[in-house]
Amino acid sequence: MKIVDARVIVTSPDRNFVTLKIVTDEGVYGVGDATLNGRELAVASYLTDHVRPLLIGRDPAAIEDTWQYLYRGAYWRRGPVTMTAIAAVDTALWDIKGKVAGLPVYQLLGGRSRDRVLVYGHAQGSTVAETVAEVGRYLDAGYRAVRAQTAVPGVSGTYGIGSDGDRYEPASAGLPEETRWSTRNYLDHAPELFAEIRRVHGNDFDLLHDVHHRLSPIEAAGLGKALEPYRLLYLEDPTPAEDQTAFRLIRQHTTTPIATGEVFNSIIDCQRLITERLIDYVRTSVVHAGGITHLRRILALAELYGVRSGAHGATDLSPVCLAAAVHVDTAVPNFGIQEYMPHTPATDAVFPRSHWFDNGHLHPGDAPGLGVDIDEEAAAEHPYQPAYLPVARLHDGSMHDW
């Protein structure tokens, strides 16, 4: 069997997605997510202009060799664009291997370690009361884990708060939206949200929160300590994730579990965090961390140190990535939790899939391969729309971390 084509499909049903479709001479094809929010066309070009010529004629079964060839052969290693491109190739090749074997990919990864995949949903609100009520709606819908975010008084465009109800899509058309940030207002406000959630809804569910890279290490340590009474499953991205040693200070001051990693693209990015046990959950994703092949390596290292997975699963990771994630989540021994933001009906129409949600969990289904596809005709109806993630500035106008 040989690769005879590798097509990059850019589509924008409600938001931009980039998908790689690798076709073999026997008609079997596989798909991989190549979406990098706000930098989609960089990955599309990397794949079309620099990777596609290298794939034609290769054996699609040689997943590991292809990964090594694209990683080492580029000379310029790592980085979100390169590793998202490699991830798309890797994911598509696992899809092909499953289809050829007639098995769902989780069976190729060692089989089931669990019969369903615990997920968390996103509760948000403009006020504490709104967010508390939204948490209740997720619990009523069967979720057993909920992330809670609320608008911060005096801060326009707080991260995680959508303008239309339960849908939050951070990227917006045109140039980056300029949002404001106030760490003091946030730190004054956050504990009140979690105190009220636990007062109203109790402790019998997992509660999570995403700081989204906004604090200094000592500020994050203080927040973790303030939230200890509310027993979060984890506090996510307390500080900019690339500063791995900053997490030592957080660890010294608080027992609130820590998660980070959605911006990481290789095992090197999280090696110290894992081997020094500075985090409890690693959030690296199939689409941004080199695909199923590399994510397995990260999770195997994490397993040695008692770190569990908490894979990124926002709506800017396509249904192809989510499908691959559920297969990995089903198989790995140190699964923790899977982020789950349902995609829109327009997106679901472009990406038919066999995984499904039921009562707070995702199920991979038993279709051969990943059990997801891209409807190229439907995709063609939604041309690319330039869109960027916001930026954050402090009230004096200086840049902050969004």
Shortest approach of Mg ion to residue 237 CB, angstroms? 5
The binder of ligand CS2 chosen from 90, 134, 196, 316 (CB under 6 A): 316
The answer to whether 391 contacts ligand CS2 (rule: CB under 6 A) is: no
Q: Which of 29, 71, 120, 159 is catalytic?
A: 159
Structure tokens at 105: 């990919």
Residue 373 partner contact from ligand CS2, Mg ion, none using kind-dependent CB cut-offs of 5 to 8 Å: none
Strands (E), 182-335: 206-210, 234-236, 258-260, 281-282, 308-311
| Contact call for residues 88 and 33 (beta carbons, < 8 A) | yes
The site map against ligand CS2 for 329-348 (x = CB under 6 A) is ----------x---------
CA dihedral 381, 385, 389, 391 (to 10 degrees): -160
Q: Which of 215, 262, 270, 264 is nearest to 245 (CA)?
A: 270
Compute, in degrees rounded to 10, the torsion defined by CA atoms 281, 206, 194, 124.
90
164 Cβ partners below 8 Å, 6+ apart?
none
Report the nearest approach of ligand CS2 to the CB of residue 212 (Å): 6
**Which residue's Cβ lies closest to Mg ion?**
210
With contacts defined by CB under 6 A, how many residues of the chain interact with ligand CS2?
10
Cβ closest to ligand CS2, residue 226 vs residue 389: 389
Q: Which residues contact 32 (CB under 8 A, 6 or more apart)?
A: 19, 20, 22, 87, 88, 89, 90, 91, 92, 93, 95, 291, 320, 324
In angstroms, the Cα distances linking 385 to 39, 159, 266 are: 12, 22, 29
Residue among 122, 189, 209, 212 flagged as catalytic: 212
Q: Is 384 a catalytic residue?
A: no
Contacting residues toward Mg ion, per CB under 5 A: 210
If one asks whether residue 389 binds ligand CS2 (CB under 6 A), the answer comes out as yes
32, 170, 238, 364: residue in contact with ligand CS2 (rule CB under 6 A): 170
Task: Return the residues of window 201-240 that contact ligand CS2 according to CB under 6 A.
Answer: 210, 212
Q: Does the annotation mark 340 as catalytic?
A: no
Q: At closest approach, how far in Å is the CB of 265 from ligand CS2?
A: 13
Q: Which residue has the tokens 């090594």?
A: 68
Closer CB to Mg ion, 104 or 261, in the complex? 261
Contact, 328 vs 289, CB < 8 A? no
Q: How near is the Cβ of 98 to ligand CS2 at its closest, in Å?
A: 26
52 near 93, Cβ under 8 Å?
no
Residue ranges binding ligand CS2 (CB under 6 A): 37, 170, 210, 212, 262, 312, 314, 316, 339, 389
Q: Which residues are identified as catalytic?
A: 159, 212
